[in-house]
């Protein structure tokens, strides 16, 4: 429960942050980081006994790496992922009834140190929802389903099973260049119940019922096969003709600029001379 709560809190934090992807473009990338695998609780059975929770595998901090490629449709992305996970097995708790494991070097009712590991090779298909501004940061959430091959190597025993798997994802990306982004991603990974057997042991046995679950924090480097859009053509401004100057019409009918003065009218003609008096 504590690990699940941490996972939920981390995902919630990611949602509050504003994968830069490029609309309508293919992309590819590599990712790697630390992995915390949960304990695997397995039922033990052999031809003579069945022990529920007979084996408990306690993991240490491991590694998680993958290669991804996908297409960005704008608001969402479809992605293919090929991943590898490895977590060391620190201790193995063996129930008292599983004494038949002594053929592989283990005794019943013991806690054994181990230099073994749990390994997962997976192929997943992911659906991711992008949100936030594209520059300089964006976030994403999503999930995926696929197939996982789980190998448990412990106490000179190596056993493998294939199972359906699913995962939850959340993260952020930021632009380094117009085509290259760096990011940080959280992954919760879970397989269906495993059926691990070992017919080569001194006493053939089966381990079943457990699931491989892990939490990973990954750094991402993504390349987009994307060409930035061409800049818009420059705006050409058409010069505006200046308005015609203001004019005025003078009393003599001439039209002149409004800032000029009308010509002075000529003086009136002199009055006619008086007629001579007759006498």
pLDDT tens digit sequence for 109-128:
667 767 789 999 999 999 99
Structural domain count, the chain:
1
Residues 6+ apart with CB under 8 A from 85: 35, 37, 62, 63, 64, 65, 119, 120, 122, 189, 214, 216
What is the pLDDT confidence band of residue 134, given thresholds at 50, 70 and 90? low
State the pTM of this model.
Answer: 0.72
Q: Do the domain assignments include residue 249?
A: no
What CATH number is given to the structural domain containing 199?
2.40.160.20
Check residues 14 and 170 and name the one with the higher pLDDT: 170
pLDDT at 199: 59
Q: Do the domain assignments include residue 64?
A: yes
Q: Do the domain assignments include residue 57?
A: yes
Report the distance separating Cα 37 and Cα 20, nearest Å: 29
pLDDT value at 3 more than 70: no
């Amino acid at each position: 429960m504590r690990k699940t709560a941490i996972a939920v809190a981390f995902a919630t934090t990611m949602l509050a942050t504003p994968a830069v992807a490029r609309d309508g473009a293919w992309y590819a990338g590599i990712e790697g980081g630390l992995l915390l695998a949960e304990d695997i609780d397995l039922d033990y059975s052999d031809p003579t006994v069945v022990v529920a929770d007979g084996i408990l595998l306690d993991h240490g901090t491991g590694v998680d790496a993958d290669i991804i490629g996908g297409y960005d449709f704008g608001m969402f992305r479809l992605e293919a992922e090929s991943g590898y996970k490895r977590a060391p097995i620190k201790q193995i708790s063996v129930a008292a009834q599983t004494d038949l494991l002594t053929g592989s070097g283990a005794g019943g009712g013991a806690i054994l140190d181990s230099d073994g590991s749990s390994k997962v090779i997976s192929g997943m298909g992911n659906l991711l929802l992008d949100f936030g501004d594209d520059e300089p940061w964006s976030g994403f959430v999503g999930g995926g389903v696929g197939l996982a091959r789980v190998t448990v190597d412990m106490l000179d025993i190596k056993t493998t099973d294939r199972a359906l798997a699913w995962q939850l994802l959340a993260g952020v990306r930021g632009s380094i260049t117009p085509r290259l982004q760096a990011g940080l991603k959280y992954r919760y990974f879970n397989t269906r119940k495993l059926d691990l057997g070992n017919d080569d042991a001194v006493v053939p046995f089966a381990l079943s019922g457990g699931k491989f679950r892990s939490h990973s924090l990954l750094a991402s480097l993504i390349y987009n096969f994307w060409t930035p859009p061409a800049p818009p053509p420059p705006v050409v401004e058409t010069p505006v003709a200046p308005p015609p100057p203001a004019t005025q019409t003078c009393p003599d009918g001439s039209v002149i600029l409004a800032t000029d003065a009308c010509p002075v009218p000529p003086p009136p003609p002199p009055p006619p001379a008086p007629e001579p008096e007759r006498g």
